[in-house]
């Protein structure tokens, strides 16, 4: 398994091969690389940019260790003097990023790197892996939260997330996406999320009678949530009510439904609880939930007080990958772009200006050259210069989470629903369009 203090070989081989070629040719001019996507996945009205901070921190300290240099020798591809270059590698460039938790749209750079070309090239695989993971997970989880409205959504996904790194950093992304808690102990502790959890069916089954399991748990964890669907949900809740009435010391905070028609079960359970006067016992639902099921439960006014969501957000099941690209847009002062079929992009270093109307609603973005000015809020901000993180450039997770929800709520209302929304208006500045046409003309004649 990979450690973050030792990850320089988590890299696609061609990055190192290209770096060696640049080194061998003494090509040390400055390149600009831009991280963006060309279209939104199906079922996404925006992507929530996430993961830029961690990768910037890692870039600052990225080193090839002597052990790694030894390992590279086995590939028989690298010259001893290039391996020395790698061993002395210290990123010396500049990075601008949009703040984490910012909604972003096609063609908008999430991050731009400006550095000697070999240095910027070497970072490609890691930058993409980091930003892709957190952006994909945050962008799915935020939809569960948008569907749940004021009801809390808790992450239950660890078991089916793709490996431990995803299960860990994913929780950070969930925090920015507005989730209220996680079942994952380590990630909750590390990222300041409320850690929560109730019981599994196995606990109920281990006892000859489920009431025994409930009583043991309630005694040990006063105010706990009991899982009531192992055998017969309504019968379990009726028996819990009897017990609570007969034992004034018994105290539970909620019940959890994990299967069946969750709305119907919730209505029935609510009725059983309310009739006995237990109006403060909450009902939590889980079991194959995603944003659509949550929305449907809310439309039916199901009396559910909170949602546990696992697999759907854990693997971002309906859009587990984003066609994120890391493209050279400028080298040695020359704008660059490729001309491969169906893959439009724009050359040059860029800025994105988000415009707001009088009510503070964001009403459109302009993607422009880095030296243009269109008013509104420029989204890309310097976070690193000369290889060093700028003081104050990296905010606390609390601040980032606040920023995320402020920006999400500032979007037009349709963008903030889980239904398919009209495209958010993004325009390309005249300058960039002209630069694209000029560059295209140049590369076409080759």
Of 31-50, binders to its own copies (CB under 8 A) are 31, 33
Q: Report which of 290, 285, 295, 286 is spatially closest to residue 314, judged by C-alpha positions.
A: 290
The Cα 192–Cα 206 span in angstroms is: 33
Angle at 128 between CA 125 and CA 129, to 5 degrees: 80
Q: Which of 39, 61, 71, 386 binds its own copies (CB under 8 A)?
A: 71
Report phi then psi at 194, rounded to 5: -60, 130
Beta pairing class for 252-257 and 282-285? parallel
Task: Give CA–CA dist 419/173, Å, rounded.
Answer: 22
**Near its own copies by CB under 8 A: residue from 217, 307, 346, 424:** 217
Q: At its nearest, how many Å lie between its own copies and the CB of residue 89?
A: 14
Residue of the chain from 203, 292, 374, 405 that contacts its own copies (CB under 8 A): 203
* Residue 67 CB, nearest approach to its own copies (Å): 11
Residue 168, both tokens: 């860990």
Return the range that interacts with its own copies (CB under 8 A); candidates 184-192, 365-373, 389-397, 416-424: 184-192
Contact region for its own copies (CB under 8 A) — 84-92, 151-159, 377-385, 429-437?
151-159
28 binds its own copies (CB under 8 A): no
Tell me the window of 163-171, 243-251, 270-278, 295-303 that interacts with its own copies (CB under 8 A). Answer: 163-171
Name the residue nearer to its own copies (CB basis): 1 or 358: 1
In whole angstroms, give the CA distance from residue 381 to residue 375: 15
Work out whether 205 is an interface residue with its own copies (CB under 8 A). Answer: yes
By CB under 8 A, tell whether 161 contacts its own copies: yes
Helix, strand, or coil (residue 84): helix
**Stretch 219-248: interaction string toward its own copies, x if CB under 8 A:** -xx-------xxxx--x-------------
Does 368 help bind its own copies (rule: CB under 8 A)? no
Residues numbered 305-344 forming contacts with its own copies, rule: CB under 8 A: 311, 314-317, 320-324, 326-328, 331, 336-343
* Touching its own copies, residues 416-445 (CB under 8 A): 443-444
The answer for residues whose C-beta is within 8 angstroms of residue 407's C-beta and 6 or more apart is 101, 102, 103, 362
239-244: long-range contacts, CB 8 A cutoff, minimum separation 24: 239/210, 239/211, 240/211, 240/214, 241/272, 241/273, 241/276, 241/278, 243/211, 243/214, 243/215, 244/276, 244/278
Which CB, 25 or 150, lies closer to its own copies?
25
When the beta carbons of 209 and 299 are compared against its own copies, the nearer one is: 209
């Amino acid at each position: 398994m990979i450690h973050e203090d030792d990850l320089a070989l988590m890299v696609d081989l061609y990055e190192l091969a290209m770096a060696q070629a640049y080194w061998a040719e003494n090509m040390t001019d400055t390149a600009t690389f831009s991280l963006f996507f060309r279209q939104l996945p199906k079922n996404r009205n925006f992507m929530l940019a996430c993961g830029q901070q961690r990768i910037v921190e890692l870039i600052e300290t990225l080193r090839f260790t002597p052990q790694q240099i030894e390992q590279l020798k086995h590939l028989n591809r690298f010259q001893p003097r290039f391996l020395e270059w790698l061993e002395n590698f210290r990123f010396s460039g500049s990075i601008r990023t949009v703040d984490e938790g910012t909604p972003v749209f096609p063609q908008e750079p999430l991050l731009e790197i400006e550095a000697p070309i070999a240095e910027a090239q070497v970072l490609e695989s890691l930058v993409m892996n980091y930003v892709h993971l957190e952006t994909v997970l945050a962008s799915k989880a935020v939809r569960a939260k948008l569907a749940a409205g004021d009801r809390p959504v808790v992450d239950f996904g660890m078991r089916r997330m793709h490996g431990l790194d995803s299960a860990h950093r994913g929780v950070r992304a969930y925090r920015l996406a507005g989730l209220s808690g996680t079942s994952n102990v380590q990630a909750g502790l590390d990222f300041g999320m409320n850690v929560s959890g109730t019981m599994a069916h196995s606990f109920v089954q281990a006892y000859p009678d489920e009431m025994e399991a409930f009583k043991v748990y309630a005694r040990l964890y006063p105010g706990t949530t009991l899982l009531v669907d192992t055998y017969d949900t309504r019968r379990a809740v009726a028996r819990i009510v009897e017990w609570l009435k007969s034992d004034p010391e018994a105290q539970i905070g909620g019940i959890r439904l994990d299967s069946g028609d969750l709305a119907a079960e919730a209505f029935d359970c609510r009725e059983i609880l309310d009739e006995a006067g237990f109006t403060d016992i909450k009902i939590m639902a889980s079991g194959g939930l995603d944003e659509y099921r949550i929305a449907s439960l809310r439309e039916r006014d199901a009396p559910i007080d909170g949602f546990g969501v696992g697999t759907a957000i854990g693997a971002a099941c309906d859009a587990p990958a984003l066609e994120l690209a890391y493209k050279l847009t400028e080298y040695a002062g020359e704008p660059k772009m490729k001309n491969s079929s169906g893959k439009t992009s724009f050359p040059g270093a860029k800025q994105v200006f988000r415009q707001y109307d009088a009510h503070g609603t964001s009403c459109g973005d302009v993607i422009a050259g880095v030296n243009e000015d269109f008013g509104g809020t420029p989204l890309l901000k310097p976070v690193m210069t000369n290889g060093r993180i700028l003081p104050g450039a990296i905010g606390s997770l609390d601040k980032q989470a606040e920023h995320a929800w402020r920006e999400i709520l500032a979007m037009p209302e349709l963008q903030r629903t889980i239904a398919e929304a009209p495209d958010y208006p993004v325009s390309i500045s005249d300058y960039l369009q002209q630069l694209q046409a000029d560059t295209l003309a140049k590369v076409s004649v080759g």
